[in-house]
């Protein structure tokens, strides 16, 4: 789902996740948040949704997607 610039995607229930990122990736995420005024959570969620849609083969067949 591609959104127009400035358009917000619908947000469902959320959950906190703690993970380790490479320093450079984290620094770039902070820069993107500051420059775009889009939250880190929204940037990461968008990136993961795109990754998931491109890698359906990473899920078991029973997922049904």
* DSSP 8-state class, residue 63: G
Residue partners of 43: CB distance under 8 A and separation at least 6: 29, 32, 33, 36
Considering the entire predicted model, what is its pTM? 0.73
Stretch 7-29: mean pLDDT: 89
pLDDT tens digits for range 23-59: 999 999 999 999 999 999 999 999 999 999 999 999 9
Question: pLDDT value at position 61?
Answer: 78
């Amino acid at each position: 789902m591609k959104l127009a610039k400035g358009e917000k995607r619908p947000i469902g229930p959320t959950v906190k996740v703690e993970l380790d990122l490479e320093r450079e990736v984290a620094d770039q995420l902070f820069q993107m948040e500051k420059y775009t005024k889009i939250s880190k959570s929204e940037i990461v969620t968008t990136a993961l949704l795109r990754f998931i849609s491109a890698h359906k083969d990473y899920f078991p067949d029973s997922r049904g997607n």
